Structure 1
Amino acid sequence: MKHHLQCFYCALAIFMANCCFAQDVALWEQFNGKYDFTFVGNTLNTSENNSNTLCSILTSSTASLTLNSGDTIEKAYLYWAGSGTGDFDVKLNGTNVPASRTFGIFLNTFNYFSAFADVTQLVQSTGNGDYTLSDLDLNPFITPTQYCNNRTNFGGWAMVIVYKNDALPLNQLNVYDGLQGIPDSINITLDSLNVIDSTGAKIGFIAWEGDVSLDIDETLMINDHVLSNDLNPPTNAFNGTNTITGSSSLYNMDLDIYDIEDNIAVGDTSALIQMTSAAMWCLSVRL
């Protein structure tokens, strides 16, 4: 069985210490069979929050899903996140979607949140095409400008699509989530793995609040190996990029996938994720 390791995380880049309450990262769901995954999502920011532009945020945005012939949607998980104590009732293509799980964090007098909903039935019915997340209104939180002055005003959404195709090799696909904080580094152990073939192994992250201008020893590692690719330099892992579309302007958000074929080994039953930054971080992690 090949091992495809699927990870989701959300990061809040903060420049002060004294981090936060935590919910330990743990296995959420595991798939064994001919499975793979992809991401769909978009930011609500109109520019990086590290810029000097007017403080504003959208309440909706759109992204497209394109699966190949033979791909059958198994699961669709919707995540959204932003500044403030939270907006936990949103719409996806006009359908009301309440959060079934929520994650909150309080850091240096500021609140941040993320939320989850299983939208499998809706996405199975719709299939390929445009998806619009709406009614995610963070303006009451950021309009007073405290978050903007702190440069931590952000919002966005993403769907994780787990799909099956009989032409795929056998894979193990794991979804982990939780909420943990980082001072200048963090180690997260992903357990419940069964690596019997590392060929084609990959890891994917959904990251919030990454800035392209913060290229300051911001590294992402697995089993002591620094990860990088054409969109993500080794010292700037979370820089507003989307591996699926090739975009480098996904402001304050990342949808990143890395090849880890050479970073895990047959027989591994766990993997160590390590993240470092010269700035201070607090992380909502979905791995």
Structure 2
Amino acid sequence: MRNSPGPLLRRATVGMLALATFWTSASAPAAAAEAERLPFAERYRATQHGGIVRAANTSISCRTTSPSCASVRRGATAANGDFDMFYVDVDRDPNTYNSSRAEVRLPAGARVTFARLYWGGNLRVGEQKPPKDNGRVLIAEPGGAYKEVLADTVVGHRVAHGADAFQASADVTRLVRDSGPGLWTVAQVNVAMGRSAAGAWGGWTLVVAYEDPAEPLRRLSVWDGFESLDGRREVLLGGPRLPKGAGGYAGLVAYNGDRGRTGDSLTVSGTALSDAANPRDDVLNSTISGPGSERVPSYPHTLGYDSDVFDLGAVPRRGGDQRGVRLASERDAAWAGVLFTAVDARD
């Protein structure tokens, strides 16, 4: 498993002068190293009574001046490249240019054992964002003030298909353990606004593993990386075998999947996953789906950002003969960022 030096958090005064001073200060930490391709590797593994939850939201959406924007946000088929895109900004702070919220929902009495924040997007649309800011983001716990989070590992960053794509991440276990469940806010994700053929897209996901003696014994795994999925590319990982009848769930985070363009799939132990929000051959369809939790805003169509959780118990399967998690795309210029599973430990 990858090791990280722990959460890199700073209290942030969200004023323009204060931020500008911090960004240019000689004492500010150097930007995280970047790489065009980050092969997927296991970030976290545990066998414990408990599970994995995630909070996620988009950082950019279509401008409401477009006549079709409202219907697309509600779920109509379209692509981010069809729109002039603008920031989502819900915090009423004039000094943040994007912000959104989502709920970390934990069982009463659960203990957080792992929490990692992932963020990413496209830096090149109608404007070009500076890559030096890829490794910085702001986060506020429920009822709390913004704190700066710095990426604590290599940032994935690739220029391809008209996009300038990146994903960064940081360990926030201590912060989430101390602050607990509720609505978390993430701001200043480095994404570009405007319109281009590649489209604007970006968002964040907070993945949280927890221990709870009241829940089944499960094998928990989180993998991350930064891999292009265009043209029959795939991410294939070793993973659990799913015994027949075993429960569990699997999740993904991916960028720039377009709704209605079929040819991508997520399979676990040889079984293709789907649900009401994600067709079997179009799982990269710009959705944040899975067990219910609150989001602000809560657009059903996120126009280029996917953070989905699938219930494995609802999937018919033979069980027992295959292992592994596979995310594949035959058409989209998409990027994979995170995969995770929580499977009943029955074998």
TM over 0.5: yes
Letter in 2 for 1:229: D
Corresponding residue pairs, total: 259
CA distance in 1 between counterparts of 2:165 and 2:221 reads: 26
The answer as to whether partners of 2:107 and 2:212 remain within 8 angstroms in 1 is no
Superposed CA RMSD: 2.7
Letter in 2 for 1:96: E
Higher relative contact order (CA 8 A, sep 6+): 1
The Cα of 1:88 is off from its aligned counterpart by 1.4
In the alignment, which residue of structure 1 is the partner of 2:10?
none
The Cα of 1:205 is off from its aligned counterpart by 1.1
Establish whether residue 28 from structure 1 lines up as the match of residue 43 from structure 2.
yes
Residue number among 189, 211, 222 corresponding to 1:164 in the alignment: 211
Cα gap change, 1:34/1:267 in structure 2, threshold over 3 Å: closer, same or farther?
Answer: farther
The Cα of 1:260 is off from its aligned counterpart by 3.1
Letter in 2 for 1:230: A
CA distance in 2 between counterparts of 1:35 and 1:197 reads: 20
Residue number among 270, 278, 284 corresponding to 1:232 in the alignment: 278
In the alignment, which residue of structure 1 is the partner of 2:335?
283
Q: TM-score, normalised by structure 2?
A: 0.67
In the alignment, which residue of structure 1 is the partner of 2:107?
68
DSSP 3-state at the match of 2:86 = coil
- Greater Cα radius of gyration, structure 1 or 2: 2
DSSP 3-state at the match of 1:123 = helix
Gaps of 5+ in 2: 1-34, 63-77, 89-97, 124-130, 141-145, 340-347
DSSP 3-state at the match of 1:210 = coil
Query: For 1:242-275, what per-residue CA distance to the aligned partner results, in whole angstroms no more than 9, with x for missing partners?
Result: 213386233422221223354584476x414141
Q: TM-score, normalised by structure 1?
A: 0.79
DSSP 3-state at the match of 1:114 = strand
In the alignment, which residue of structure 2 is the partner of 1:133?
186
Cα gap change, 1:165/1:267 in structure 2, threshold over 3 Å: closer, same or farther?
Answer: farther
Query: For 1:189-215, what per-residue CA distance to the aligned partner results, in whole angstroms no more than 9, with x for missing partners?
Result: 322647678610321112222332x33
Establish whether residue 200 from structure 1 lines up as the match of residue 253 from structure 2.
no
Letter in 1 for 2:271: H
Residue number among 13, 23, 46 corresponding to 2:61 in the alignment: 46
In the alignment, which residue of structure 2 is the partner of 1:150?
197
CA distance in 2 between counterparts of 1:135 and 1:117 reads: 15
In the alignment, which residue of structure 2 is the partner of 1:114?
167
Gaps of 5+ in 1: 1-19
CA distance in 2 between counterparts of 1:173 and 1:66 reads: 17
Establish whether residue 245 from structure 1 lines up as the match of residue 292 from structure 2.
yes
Cα gap change, 1:154/1:109 in structure 2, threshold over 3 Å: closer, same or farther?
Answer: closer
Letter in 1 for 2:85: C
DSSP 3-state at the match of 2:276 = coil
The Cα of 1:239 is off from its aligned counterpart by 2.0
Query: For 1:215-259, what per-residue CA distance to the aligned partner results, in whole angstroms no more than 9, with x for missing partners?
Result: 323333334432211111122212232213386233422221223
Query: For 1:113-134, what per-residue CA distance to the aligned partner results, in whole angstroms no more than 9, with x for missing partners?
Result: 0010111111122212221111
Letter in 1 for 2:59: L
CA distance in 2 between counterparts of 1:78 and 1:187 reads: 23
